[in-house]
């Protein structure tokens, strides 16, 4: 559940590692779970927001870094930053 990823007040979040799988530039799975494009955007936005990453920033950064091929990309979301692992 998305609400479970937000920390209680005063708690800190550990880095969130996410693996996105693409097929011809289209996200088809998040952490091995098949998703639609809309679900992928929603999940990435929620997880990014929990790490103080602006709404949609995770998706935009992902598009810049992955191009349009078929591959899996591992990202670490933490404290306002997105890092390719």
pTM above 0.75, yes or no: no
Mean predicted confidence (pLDDT) in 50-69 = 70
For the chain, the residue count is: 85
Task: Match 């103080």 to its residue by tokens.
Answer: 52
pLDDT tens digits along 33-45: 999 999 998 998 8
82 vs 57, more confident: 82
pLDDT tens digits along 7-19: 666 566 789 999 9
Strand ranges of the sheet holding 33-34, from the earlier edge strand across to the other edge: 33-34, 26-30, 16-23, 71-78, 81-84
* Cα distance between residue 72 and residue 12, in whole Å: 28
pLDDT of residue 1: 47
CB 17 within 8 A of CB 75: yes
Nearest to 41 by CA among 27, 22, 23: 27
Mean predicted confidence (pLDDT) in 43-65 = 77
């Amino acid at each position: 559940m998305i609400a479970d990823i937000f920390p209680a007040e005063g708690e800190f979040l550990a880095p969130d590692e996410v693996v996105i799988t693409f097929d011809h530039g289209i996200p088809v799975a998040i952490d091995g779970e098949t998703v639609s494009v809309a679900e992928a955007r929603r999940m990435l936005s929620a997880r990014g927001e929990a790490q103080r990453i602006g709404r949609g920033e995770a998706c935009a950064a992902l598009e810049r870094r992955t191009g349009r091929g078929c591959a899996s990309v591992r990202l670490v979301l933490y404290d306002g930053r997105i890092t390719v692992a």
